C-alpha cells in the first residue's frame, strides 16, 4: 500500500484509496451456466476421476468460462491490484469514543413487536435485575447444543464442539460479577458462539473437514478475544461448509443444520452453523466469515442481520485467512443493536496485526448527526432477481424513500458478470493453494479444487486487473454520490431448496445454483467494501409450510460500517413496523430466557 488520497470534499481521508475513474461498458447478459449437476453415489465416482485426470480438469476449467478474462480489451494497460484494503484515516482532532450503548438500547425493537428476537440488552437487563443469572442461561442452553450426549437435540448439529467446563466457568464468573454489582458491560454473560474458521484456546479447528487443523500454539483469535474480554460467554464452535467453498452449508463430515424457518431448505453457507444458531434464537449473535457471501447468504436465508466488514478491518490474528484477498470476519445478529455492539467490540484495532492496527477505532452511532441518505441502484442488475425477491426488496426501498427520506440514484457498474468470474477464480486459487491435496475432502470440493487449480497465472493476473477497474469505478461513484449505499437483493433467489435427501449424505455439486446465489454478494469481497444483509420479508416455499426469509443488501464505501449500520436500523424499522405482519420468528425459535426462568 502506498498512496494517500482524499475525497473531493477533503473528508474523510483514506490510505490506499483507488484513483476514481469511471469505466463505461454496456451491460451484457451472461451466458447460461453449463455446469452439470451431480449428486448421490455418482458424485463420489465423478470426483475420483476428476481429481486424478488432468485432461478432465482442463475440460471442466474451460467449461466454467474463467479463462474468458484473457484478451479482454478493457484490461489493456491496467495495473493488477492484489489487495483491496482501503483504510479510512481519522482526522487529527477526532477522538475515539466508546459505543453509545444507551443509543443502541433505545433502538432495540419494542417488546410488543411481532416476531421479536431477544437482544443482548434483554440478557443484560435480566441479569442486572437478578431475574436470571448467566449460569441459569447456560444450563438451559447446554442440553440443546451439546452433540456429545446420548440424545442430542435437533439444534446440536449446528455446533461442532462445546467445552462444558470452559462454558460453565465463564458463566460462574459472570454470575459473580453481577452479584457483586460489577458487570463488565452489556455483553457480560451474553451467550455467543464462533464459526469453525478461527482458532479458540481449548478447541480444535477443522474448517469443516475431517482434518485436525488446530493451531499448535493453542490461542484464541483477536476478535473472539475482544468478545470474551467484554464478558461474553463463548458456547463453542459452530459448523461450516467444508473449507467455506459453497453457499449451502451442506457438510457430510459433521452434519448439516437445516434452515430454522423451513427444514426443506439449507441455512446457506459457509457460516451456516452461525446462521442457524442466531436464526433459531439460541444466541443473539455469532461470528461469521465471508469470502464470497458466507456471512450475508446464511444471514439472508435464516432471517437475521449480517455484516461483511471492510477488508482487513477485523483481526482474526493469529489465524491465517482461508482466502487472504477476499475473506473477512464479521458479526451475524438477531437485531441491529446486537450487530452494532458485536461489531464495535470485535473491530478494535489489533496492535499485532499490521493492517488492522492502521484502522481507526470504529465510530460510535450518532443519532443526531445528519447523514446522506442516498441509495444507488443498478436497475439492470437488480432486476435479474426472481420476481418474489425483487418485489419484497422493492417494497423495502419504497419505504426507505417514501417514509425515511432516502433518495435513489441510478448507477451502472461495468463488467459485473466477468467480475464474478474473476472473484471466483481468485478465491479458488487462494484456497486451492493451501489445500492442493484433496484426499479426504468431500466429493464436491475435490471437484472444485482440482478444477480451480487449472488456473494459469495469466488468468489470475487478468482477474486482479478487473479488480482494479471495479475499485476505481466504485471510487468514482462515491466521489459523485458521497455516503451512497448501493443496494441489491442479497441473493436473487429465495433460499436454496434441498432437492434430494441423499444430498445431505453425499453432498451435491450444483455450480449453476452456486453461481446464481452469489450474483450480488461477490463484489463486496472482491473490492474490499463493507456490506450489510438486512431481512425485509418472506417468500413462499417450494416445500413445507415455513416461509423463506428474503434480504436486502447494502454495500458502502470502504470504512463506512457506521453509515451501513444506520441504514440497517432503518431497514429493521421497515421489517418490524412497515412489513405487513411484521417480522416472523423461525419455526425452530427457542425462548431461551423463558426456558432459563423455568429452570
- pTM comes to 0.96
- Residue 189, pLDDT > 70, answer yes
Share of the chain above pLDDT 70, in %: 95
Q: pLDDT tens across 270-301, in order?
A: 999 999 999 999 999 999 999 999 999 999 99
Beta strands in 196-327 (DSSP E): 233-238, 285-290, 305-308
Query: In sequence order, what are the residues at sequence separation of 6 or more whose Cβ sits closer than 8 angstroms to the Cβ of residue 111?
Result: none
- Residue 366, pLDDT > 70, answer no
Lowest model confidence (mean pLDDT) among 33-47, 59-73, 186-200: 59-73
Which residue has cell 479510512?
Answer: 88
Query: In sequence order, what are the residues at sequence separation of 6 or more whose Cβ sits closer than 8 angstroms to the Cβ of residue 561?
Result: 307, 309, 310, 313, 343, 347, 362, 363, 530
pLDDT category at 368 given cuts 50, 70, 90 is low
Q: What is the pLDDT of residue 10?
A: 45
The set of cell numbers assigned to 90 is 481519522
Is it true that domain 117-358+372-411+481-493+511-587 has CATH number 3.30.300.30? no
Q: Hey, what's the torsion of the CAs at 12, 294, 103, 183, to 10 degrees?
A: -120
- Give the residue among 398, 405, 450, 403 at the shortest CA–CA distance from 429: 450
Q: pLDDT tens across 253-262, in order?
A: 999 999 999 9
Length of the chain: 599
Q: pLDDT tens across 483-516, in order?
A: 999 999 999 999 999 999 899 999 999 999 999 9
Task: Say if CB 214 and CB 205 are below 8 A apart.
Answer: yes
- Residue 103, pLDDT > 90, answer no
Q: Give the C-alpha separation, 367 to 78, whole Å.
A: 42
pLDDT category at 369 given cuts 50, 70, 90 is low
Strand 233-238, strand 159-161: pairing: antiparallel
Q: What is the pLDDT of residue 7?
A: 43
Q: Give the angle 566-572-575 at the CA atoms, nearest 5°.
A: 155
Q: What is the pLDDT of residue 117?
A: 98
pLDDT category at 68 given cuts 50, 70, 90 is confident
Task: Indicate the domain borders of the chain.
Answer: 39-67+414-471, 117-358+372-411+481-493+511-587
Q: Give the C-alpha separation, 86 to 529, whole Å.
A: 8
- Residue 2, pLDDT > 60, answer no
Q: Give the C-alpha separation, 410 to 27, whole Å.
A: 14
* CA-to-CA dists, residue 476 to 7, 143, 331, 523, angstroms: 10, 53, 29, 16
- Give the residue among 81, 63, 76 at the shortest CA–CA distance from 2: 81
- Residue 370, pLDDT > 80, answer no
Q: pLDDT tens across 80-89, in order?
A: 999 999 999 8
- Residue 251, pLDDT > 80, answer yes
For residue 448, give the 3-state DSSP assignment: helix
The set of cell numbers assigned to 433 is 493453494
For residue 431, give the 3-state DSSP assignment: helix
CA-based radius of gyration for the chain: 23
Answer with the residue of higher pLDDT: 392 or 68: 392
Q: What is the pLDDT of residue 193?
A: 98
Residue 486: beta bridge partners?
A: 376, 555
Which sign does the torsion angle of CA 280, 284, 287, 292 carry? Answer: positive
- Residue 247, pLDDT > 60, answer yes
Share of the chain above pLDDT 90, in %: 86
Q: Give the C-alpha separation, 331 to 317, whole Å.
A: 16
Summary mean pLDDT of the chain:
93
For residue 372, give the 3-state DSSP assignment: coil
Q: Give the C-alpha separation, 152 to 546, whole Å.
A: 24
- Residue 465, pLDDT > 50, answer yes
- Residue 61, pLDDT > 90, answer no
| Burial category of 177 from C-beta neighbours within 10 Å (exposed 0-12, middle 13-18, buried 19 and up) | middle
Q: What is the pLDDT of residue 8?
A: 43
* CA-to-CA dists, residue 18 to 64, 173, 273, angstroms: 30, 48, 36
Task: Say if CB 110 and CB 104 are below 8 A apart.
Answer: no
Task: Say if CB 63 and CB 454 are below 8 A apart.
Answer: no
* CA-to-CA dists, residue 66 to 59, 116, 120, 334, 429, angstroms: 12, 44, 44, 37, 12
538's enclosing H/E stretch is: strand 531-539
Q: What is the DSSP code (8-state) at residue 74? A: G
- Residue 91, pLDDT > 60, answer no
Task: Say if CB 556 and CB 305 are below 8 A apart.
Answer: no
- Residue 95, pLDDT > 50, answer no
Is the preceding peptide bond at 318 cis, omega within 30 degrees of 0? yes
The set of cell numbers assigned to 352 is 499485532
pLDDT category at 233 given cuts 50, 70, 90 is very high
Q: pLDDT tens across 104-155, in order?
A: 778 899 988 889 999 999 999 999 999 999 999 999 999 999 999 999 999 9
Task: Say if CB 285 and CB 278 are below 8 A apart.
Answer: yes
Strand 191-195, strand 233-238: pairing: parallel
Amino acid at each position: 500500500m502506498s498512496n494517500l488520497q482524499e475525497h473531493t470534499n477533503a473528508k474523510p481521508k483514506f490510505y490506499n484509496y483507488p484513483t476514481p475513474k469511471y469505466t463505461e461498458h454496456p451491460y451484457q447478459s451472461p451466458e447460461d451456466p453449463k455446469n452439470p449437476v451431480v449428486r448421490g453415489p455418482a458424485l463420489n465416482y465423478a470426483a475420483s476421476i476428476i481429481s486424478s485426470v488432468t485432461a478432465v480438469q482442463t475440460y471442466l476449467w474451460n467449461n466454467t468460462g474463467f479463462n474468458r478474462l484473457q484478451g479482454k480489451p478493457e484490461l489493456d494497460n491496467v495495473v493488477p491490484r492484489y489487495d483491496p484494503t482501503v483504510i479510512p484515516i481519522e482526522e487529527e482532532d477526532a477522538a475515539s469514543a466508546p459505543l453509545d450503548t444507551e443509543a443502541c438500547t433505545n433502538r432495540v425493537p419494542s417488546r410488543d413487536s411481532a416476531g421479536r428476537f431477544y437482544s443482548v440488552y434483554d440478557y443484560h437487563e435480566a441479569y442486572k435485575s437478578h431475574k436470571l443469572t448467566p449460569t441459569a442461561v447456560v444450563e438451559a442452553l447446554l442440553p440443546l447444543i451439546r452433540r456429545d450426549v446420548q440424545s442430542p437435540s435437533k439444534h446440536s448439529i449446528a455446533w461442532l464442539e462445546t467445552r462444558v467446563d470452559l462454558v460453565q466457568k465463564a458463566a460462574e464468573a459472570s454470575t459473580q460479577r453481577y452479584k457483586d454489582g460489577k458487570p463488565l458491560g452489556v455483553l457480560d454473560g451474553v451467550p455467543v458462539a464462533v464459526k469453525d474458521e478461527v482458532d479458540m484456546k481449548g478447541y480444535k479447528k477443522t474448517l469443516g473437514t475431517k482434518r485436525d487443523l488446530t493451531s499448535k500454539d493453542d490461542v484464541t483469535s483477536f476478535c473472539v478475544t475482544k468478545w470474551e474480554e467484554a464478558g461474553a460467554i463463548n458456547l463453542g464452535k459452530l459448523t461450516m461448509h467444508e473449507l467455506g467453498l459453497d453457499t449451502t452449508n451442506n457438510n457430510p463430515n459433521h452434519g448439516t443444520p437445516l434452515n430454522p424457518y423451513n427444514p426443506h431448505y439449507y441455512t446457506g453457507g459457509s457460516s451456516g452453523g452461525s446462521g442457524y444458531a442466531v436464526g433459531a434464537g439460541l444466541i443473539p449473535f455469532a461470528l461469521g466469515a465471508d469470502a464470497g457471501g458466507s456471512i450475508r447468504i446464511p444471514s439472508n436465508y435464516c432471517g437475521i442481520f449480517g455484516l461483511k466488514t471492510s477488508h482487513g478491518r477485523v483481526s482474526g490474528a493469529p489465524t491465517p485467512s482461508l482466502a487472504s484477498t477476499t475473506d473477512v470476519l464479521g458479526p451475524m445478529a438477531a437485531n441491529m443493536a446486537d450487530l452494532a455492539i458485536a461489531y464495535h467490540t470485535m473491530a478494535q484495532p489489533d496492535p499485532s496485526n499490521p493492517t488492522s492496527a492502521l484502522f481507526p477505532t470504529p465510530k460510535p452511532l450518532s443519532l443526531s448527526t445528519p447523514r446522506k441518505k442516498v441509495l444507488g441502484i443498478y436497475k439492470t442488475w437488480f432486476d435479474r432477481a426472481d420476481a418474489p425477491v425483487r418485489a419484497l426488496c422493492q417494497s423495502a426501498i419504497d419505504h426507505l424513500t417514501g417514509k425515511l427520506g432516502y433518495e435513489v440514484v441510478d448507477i451502472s457498474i461495468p463488467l459485473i458478470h466477468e467480475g464474478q468470474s474473476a472473484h471466483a477464480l481468485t478465491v479458488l486459487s487462494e484456497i486451492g493453494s493451501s489445500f492442493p491435496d484433496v484426499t479426504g475432502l468431500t466429493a464436491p470440493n475435490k471437484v472444485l479444487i482440482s478444477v480451480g487449480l487449472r488456473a494459469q497465472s495469466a488468468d489470475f493476473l487478468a482477474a486482479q486487473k478487473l479488480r482494479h477497474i471495479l475499485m476505481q469505478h466504485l471510487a468514482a461513484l462515491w466521489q459523485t454520490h458521497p455516503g451512497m449505499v448501493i443496494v441489491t437483493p442479497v441473493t436473487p433467489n429465495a433460499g436454496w431448496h434441498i432437492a434430494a435427501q441423499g444430498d445431505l449424505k453425499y453432498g451435491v455439486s450444483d455450480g449453476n445454483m452456486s453461481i446464481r446465489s452469489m450474483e450480488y454478494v461477490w463484489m463486496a469481497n472482491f473490492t474490499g467494501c463493507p456490506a450489510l444483509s438486512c431481512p425485509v420479508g418472506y417468500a413462499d416455499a417450494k416445500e413445507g409450510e415455513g416461509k423463506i426469509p428474503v434480504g436486502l443488501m447494502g454495500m458502502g464505501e470502504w470504512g463506512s460500517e457506521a453509515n451501513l449500520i444506520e441504514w440497517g436500523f432503518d431497514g429493521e424499522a421497515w421489517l418490524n413496523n412497515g412489513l405487513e405482519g411484521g417480522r416472523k420468528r423461525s419455526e425452530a425459535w427457542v425462548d431461551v430466557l423463558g426456558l432459563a426462568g423455568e429452570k
